[in-house]
Structure 1
Amino acid sequence: MQTVLLVLLSVAITIALLWAYFTAQRLNRLHIRTDAALQSLQAALDRRAAIAAVLIPDIAAQAHAAEQVPLVYDHFAQRIEKERPISAAIAQFGEQPPAPLADAEVRLQLAHRFYNEAVSDTRALRTRPLVRLTRLGGRAQLPAYFEYTEC
């Protein structure tokens, strides 16, 4: 009887350790995906600002100022504030912006969507009670959503 309990206990501990190991790996991959998506989002914002600066000379200084603000968790508001004049200037074109600007807008919308999906997946796993209890997220900062619609 003791042997059976010892085997069951060993199996349970092994399963728990394997779950923790694979969950930590998944969480690491999700954080890498989120960081890559954040870099893509910043590149898309910078590209749109550069194209807007060329096509709309009135906002060139504001576009260059927006490019200088990096996307960092908890500091998205600074970049959003710098992006508002660019978005307002692009909105003046209506439904027919120039082709390079329309392409930059589409790329930005895709990058925004991919980033927020990566954040959603990461937060879904990080906020599970057992993951929080075992602290599998380590010291990594919980990623924040980027609200492009505010631009």
Structure 2
Amino acid sequence: MILVPWWAVLLAVLAVVVLVAALLASATATRLNRMHVRTDLARTSLEAALGRRGAVARAAYPELGADIAGAESLRLTATDPHARADAENSLGAKLAAAIESRPPEPALAIELHDATTRVELARRFYNDAVTDTRLLRMRPLVRGLRLAGTAPVPEYFDVSVEAPPRP
């Protein structure tokens, strides 16, 4: 029978524990990176949907051009989407008032309805990605090992989006 010194067994167990911890940390860091990429892609899609809605609204209601340009000039960032959300909420209220006073022609009404629906879907996808990213960032392993690095904590995009009635 071969006798192995106790310190060799302890060293082997310790090496296995360190290896498992390193693999777990690496897998978590990779997942966190994918979550941040997903959030960035969702934010890009949301910006595109807001831009499309702005273009359709500008075609239907040229008098809202300055408000649309003002909202589009604000960049949607991960850390501070509130300025853009406020501008989009203001634009949405003015657009709803314009639709109430003068409904757009049927073709533009359909496009406006579709664009607004896409904004709502993009907002949901973005906020879901933010929720998943924030939940992963709150885990003790991520916080303890600082796996998030210098990536900013993404913020939710809260905007009231009501699709105009479809003609």
TM-score, structure 1 normalization: 0.90
- Say whether residues 1:51 and 2:21 are aligned partners: no
Q: What does 1:130-145 correspond to in 2, within 5 Å? A: 130-145=141-156
Q: In the alignment, what sits opposite 2:31?
A: 26
Q: 96-105 or 4-13: which moved more? A: 96-105
1:77 counterpart residue number: 82
Decide whether the 8 Å contact of 2:56 with 2:111 is kept in 1.
yes
CA distance in 2 between counterparts of 1:26 and 1:82 reads 33
Structure 2 CA distance, aligned partners of 1:150 and 1:99? 16
User: Take 2:161 and 2:46, find their aligned partners in 1: how far apart are those partners?
Assistant: 15
Matched residue, 2:3: none
Match of 1:38 in 2: 43
Separation in structure 2 between the aligned mates of residue 50 and residue 64 of structure 1, nearest angstrom: 10
Question: Structure 1 residue 150: deviation in Å?
Answer: 8.3
* In structure 1, C-alpha distance between the alignment counterparts of 2:141 and 2:32, rounded to whole Å: 13
Computing the radius of gyration from Cα coordinates, the structure with the larger value is 2
Find the residue that maps to 1:122 and give its secondary structure: helix
Gaps of 5+ in 2: 1-5, 163-167
Deviations 1:85-118 (A, max 9, x none): 3211332436x87100000011101110010011
SS of 2:38 mapped into structure 1: helix
- Number of the residue aligned with 1:111: 122
Name the aligned partner's letter for residue 62 of structure 1: D
1:124 match: 135
Pairing of 1:9-24 with structure 2 (within 5 A):
9-24=14-29
CA distance, structure 2, for counterparts of residue 147 and residue 54 of structure 1: 25
| Number of equivalent positions | 150
The structure 1 segments of at least 4 consecutive aligned residues displaced by more than 3 Å after TM superposition are: none
CA-based RMSD of the aligned residues comes to 2.0
Residues 92 and 160 of structure 2 are in contact (CA less than 8 Å); yes or no, is this contact kept in structure 1? no
Q: In the alignment, is the contact (CA less than 8 A) between 2:35 and 2:133 conserved in 1?
A: yes
SS in 2 for 1:148: coil
Shift of 1:2: 2.5
